[in-house]
Amino acid sequence: GQNIDQPTEMTATEGAIVQINCTYQTSGFNGLFWYQQHAGEAPTFLSYNVLDGLEEKGRFSSFLSRSKGYSYLLLKELQMKDSASYLCAAGGTGGGNKLTFGTGTQLKVEL
């Protein structure tokens, strides 16, 4: 089976840096994904890691350690519009192409 853990809520200040952690247990792991979901909207894709290390995309970076079953999403230069839920999802091959989502981390960016 697959299990994803991430914090429920986080608060950070505009302009700051925040790190959202995610741990996972999955069979047939084939990648770790991060999605952003604003309230009342659909999730949108942020990043995909399949190899260990850091992937950087502008203000957002994502890190993966396969041996530790651990990932984090790093958001720099926080903006108010970054207030959203951030969903960690692990891809696995058990029973087909399955993507299991965590319950999401609600990030609140304050002035």
User: Could you give the CA distance from residue 76 to residue 110 in angstroms, rounded to a whole number?
Assistant: 14
Kindly state the smallest distance separating residue 89's Cβ from another protein, in Å: 8
Q: Closest CB to another protein among 41 and 77?
A: 41
Kindly state the smallest distance separating residue 68's Cβ from another protein, in Å: 20
Encoded tokens for 38: 């604003």
Query: Which span sits near another protein by CB under 8 A: 18-26, 58-66, 73-81, 92-100?
Result: 92-100
User: Does position 31 bind another protein by CB under 8 A?
Assistant: yes
User: Could you give the CA distance from residue 66 to residue 50 in angstroms, rounded to a whole number?
Assistant: 8
Q: Are 34 and 50 in contact (CB under 8 A)?
A: no
Among 12, 22, 43, 109, binds another protein (CB under 8 A): 43
User: Does position 58 bind another protein by CB under 8 A?
Assistant: no
Kindly state the smallest distance separating residue 101's Cβ from another protein, in Å: 4
Find residue 33's DSSP bridge partners: 48, 89
39, 91, 55, 22 alpha-carbon torsion, rounded to 10°: 60
